[in-house]
Amino acid sequence: MAYPSKKTPQIVRRFLEAIRNGRSAAQACKAEGMPSTQTILNWVESDPDFAAQYEKAKEERGNYYGELVAEISLAGLQGKYKDSGMLRAAIDGLKWSAARMAPKGFGDRMQVEHSAESSYVDALKAVQTKVEVIEGDAIEAQPLSVRARDGSAGSKQAKKQTMQ
């Protein structure tokens, strides 16, 4: 079977649509009038725009698989599938694929971002200086030394003195 190797907008559209609808590249390339998988790989390597479109289509395929999990689960609950083991295997496979193709929506990892306004050194400096308020007037007390506890009784007395 001769595969077309010329990239036309129609072939690209048909290929990407097949990917979005849950087909693998190998399955999409088996359709009549589609290029070989090697041709697709060559297009991905040589055309950054096509590569970006292909990645987006694969992510959309992951979303499709995620939605398919819900549909299959509901059908299983309605009793349309008799073999629960096979149903579970299908759902697990689709969930795994969806998590890899569309990690933002179906991934197992949570990405947590945080930032600090100042460093811990600044926080320690702020703690080190104690402000006492006497009858509405703020006066600056002597700086407290910040040190690690050594567990001895002497350090507990020092701590009590600084707290008073």
Q: Which of 25, 90, 10 is nearest to 61 (CA)?
A: 25
Can you list the domains of the chain with their CATH numbers?
9-106 (1.10.10.60), 120-163 (no CATH)
Mean pLDDT, range 62-72, rounded to an integer: 83
> Does 45 score more than 90 pLDDT?
yes
- What is the C-alpha separation between 11 and 18, in angstroms, rounded? 11
Does the model's pTM come out above 0.75? no
**pLDDT attached to residue 133:** 40
**pLDDT attached to residue 49:** 94
- What is the C-alpha separation between 3 and 38, in angstroms, rounded? 10
Q: Please, which pLDDT band fits residue 38 given cuts at 50, 70 and 90?
A: very high
Please state, in angstroms and as integers, the Cα–Cα distance from residue 75 to each residue in 12, 68, 80, 124, following that order. 34, 10, 5, 59
Q: Which of 76, 98, 92, 73 is nearest to 22 (CA)?
A: 98
Number of H helices, E strands in the chain: 8, 2
Percent of the chain beyond pLDDT 70? 63
What value does the mean pLDDT of the chain take?
A: 75
**pLDDT attached to residue 134:** 42
Percent of the chain beyond pLDDT 90? 25
Q: Please, which pLDDT band fits residue 16 given cuts at 50, 70 and 90?
A: very high
**pLDDT attached to residue 108:** 66
Stated length of the chain:
164
